[in-house]
Amino acid sequence: MHALASPRLVSRLRASSISHSTGWVVAWQLSKMKSKFLIGVMFLAAAMALVEVQAAEGPKKTDEGVKHVSAKEAQKLVAEKRVVVLDVRTAAEFKQGHISGATNVDFKATDFRKRIGQLDKSKTYLVHCAAGGRSTQSLPILKEQELKSVYHLDGGFNGWKKEGLAIEK
């Protein structure tokens, strides 16, 4: 029996005597199943292609107005001096290495909200942590403190290092 044949169809075929005409019915049903499978595969391929096209379009805005960028896109923003880099990792992590010119404001510190409130609201910020968790959690606070222009480094500092981009110690 064909791999795409349903168990119900197989049991029906076993229970009855298969005549020449029944064989044609089975072949027809199998061809319909193959068609549905192929249509599903084509739909999946089209959806994946759409995702690839969207990923190539550059920074993505979220509901909060934050633009998500890759390490390469972030590097370009930093090189063009279009952003202030805001590193929300701990001081110990920061000392082990950071993006050149970054400002360290520890997300876990008790005064995090206050320190964010003291930042220049007219500037554009690139926020990151090690992998993206803490910086993502910080986004509502950045919005609450009225920072209007924010980029988020997807993949965090680890993504930056993985791309082989320059770091400072």
Q: Any catalytic annotation for residue 36?
A: no
Burial class (CB in 10 A: 0-12, 13-18, 19+), 45: exposed
Q: How many residues does the chain have?
A: 169
Residue 102 DSSP symbol: P
Q: Give the residue from 97, 88, 104 showing the smallest Cα distance to 140.
A: 88
Neighbours of 91 (CB within 10 A): 11
129, 142, 147, 150: which is the annotated catalytic residue? 129
CA 6 to chain centre: 37
Query: Which positions are catalytic?
Result: 129
